[in-house]
Amino acid sequence: MTLRLATRRSPLALVQARYVQGRLAESGVESELVLVDTKGDREVDVDLVTLGGQGVFTVEIQRALLVGDADVAVHSAKDLPSATPEGLLLVAVPERRDQADVLVGRSLAGLGPGATVATGSPRRRALLLERRPDLQVVPLRGNMAKRFSAAGTNGVDAIVTAKAALERLGEERLVSERLDPTWFVPQVGQGALALEARVDDGATREALDVINDESALRCVVAERAFLNELGAGCSIPAGAHAVENGSLLTLRGVMIALDGTESVRAELKAADPSSLGIELARLLRDEMGGAALLGWDS
């Protein structure tokens, strides 16, 4: 069989899709890429919050599956909305990369008072301001090459990005500091690829199962359950980070005000990923005392 893999056209997305192609080839499955234009890629000058947050890089790719133009959707898991469209299924998560965020340009300690840091993520902005309220945090959009080049230009001292993106692009040398995920809690799904297929396409699901990392899938399911219970997209300053230890998953989460002045963190352990994510989301929501303190509505 030859699987049609739907992917964005960005350099990072193509690297990720070709990685999946390579893994499938190792198991004797041929594949070809189906390049899809997404709203997030077309409107690069509009910030993600204005565009609508999660879904702007995935909807068109999912539609290609639903109408039969492709067999597999290859996503960055952190771009996926927390609810999967009817007719599709999250089938596989290949081996996950480092989930942490990193600074490019300067380390946190190396940023002087009032320094400027660029990021397009409200979560990253809020977490930076929690630790360093003196920083000036400005928006950042564009492909990864454009983001990397922003550090040290136009008054920007550093940018925040995902370590996994740098690893996939072979640019680890750019890392100035890896931000400890115990306090700088990553975005749900960060560092992971998410492969979707149609529910009724058993042959494709079987082919993808060969390259699935069951532990990584369980962790991503727990994190997505957390986000789904919050009813929040990537425009909301919340993050979750799961790891598997034996038969148990440990899930750490954060909810934080947009300006970084209020936050709650918690960690829970359980065997079932979905119930774990739901329980942690409810715990944090209760501890924060409601969305009013955060400055957003859940």
CATH of the domain at 199: 3.40.190.10
Q: Are residues 208 and 71 in the same domain?
A: yes
- Confirm whether 202 is domain-assigned: yes
- Confirm whether 275 is domain-assigned: no
Q: Are residues 31 and 167 in the same domain?
A: no
- Confirm whether 47 is domain-assigned: yes
Instruction: Show the DSSP H helices in 27-77 as ranges.
Output: 39-42, 48-51, 59-66
Q: Are residues 82 and 196 in the same domain?
A: yes
pLDDT at 104 over 50: yes
Q: Are residues 138 and 14 in the same domain?
A: no
- Confirm whether 49 is domain-assigned: yes
| Catalytic choice (8, 96, 97, 147) | 147
Q: Are residues 8 and 87 in the same domain?
A: yes
Is residue 39 part of the annotated active site? The answer reads no
More confident residue, 294 or 186: 186
- Confirm whether 130 is domain-assigned: yes
| Catalytic choice (39, 132, 141, 178) | 141
More confident residue, 297 or 95: 95
Q: Are residues 129 and 202 in the same domain?
A: no
Q: Are residues 142 and 30 in the same domain?
A: no
Is residue 8 part of the annotated active site? The answer reads no
Residue 108: which domain range? 101-179
Using the CB atoms, write b or e for 263-279: b if 16+ within 10 Å.
bbebebebeebbebbbb
Instruction: Determine which of 81-85, 92-96, 252-256 has the lowest per-residue pLDDT on average.
Output: 81-85
| Catalytic choice (97, 201, 234, 285) | 234
Beta bridge partners of 117: 137, 158
User: Would you state the pLDDT for residue 235?
Assistant: 53
pLDDT at 26 over 50: yes
Is residue 9 part of the annotated active site? The answer reads no
User: Would you state the pLDDT for residue 71?
Assistant: 98
Instruction: State pTM to two decimals.
Output: 0.89
- Confirm whether 160 is domain-assigned: yes
Amino acid 256 reads: I
**Which range has highest mean pLDDT (33-47, 211-225, 231-245)?**
211-225
| Number of domains making up the chain | 2
Is residue 97 part of the annotated active site? The answer reads no
- For a pLDDT cut of 90, what percent of the chain falls above it? 77
Is residue 147 part of the annotated active site? The answer reads yes
User: Would you state the pLDDT for residue 147?
Assistant: 77
User: Would you state the pLDDT for residue 298?
Assistant: 41
Q: Are residues 81 and 109 in the same domain?
A: no
- Confirm whether 254 is domain-assigned: no
Alpha-carbon distance of 82 to 75, in angstroms, equals 13
- 140 band by pLDDT with thresholds 50, 70 and 90: confident
pLDDT, tens only, 256-282: 999 999 999 999 999 999 999 999 999
User: Would you state the pLDDT for residue 174?
Assistant: 94
| Catalytic choice (8, 96, 97, 123) | 123
| Catalytic choice (78, 97, 106, 168) | 78
- Confirm whether 293 is domain-assigned: no
Is residue 163 part of the annotated active site? The answer reads no
Is residue 78 part of the annotated active site? The answer reads yes
Q: Are residues 63 and 122 in the same domain?
A: no
- 37 band by pLDDT with thresholds 50, 70 and 90: confident
| Catalytic choice (71, 79, 101, 201) | 79
pLDDT, tens only, 42-85: 544 545 454 445 667 789 999 999 999 999 999 999 989 888 99
Return the structure tokens found at 287.
């501890």
Q: Are residues 88 and 197 in the same domain?
A: yes
Q: Which residues contact 184 (CB under 8 A, 6 or more apart)?
A: 100, 101, 124, 127
- 292 band by pLDDT with thresholds 50, 70 and 90: very low
Q: Are residues 21 and 90 in the same domain?
A: yes
pLDDT, tens only, 147-184: 767 787 789 999 999 999 999 999 999 999 999 999 99
Q: Are residues 167 and 139 in the same domain?
A: yes
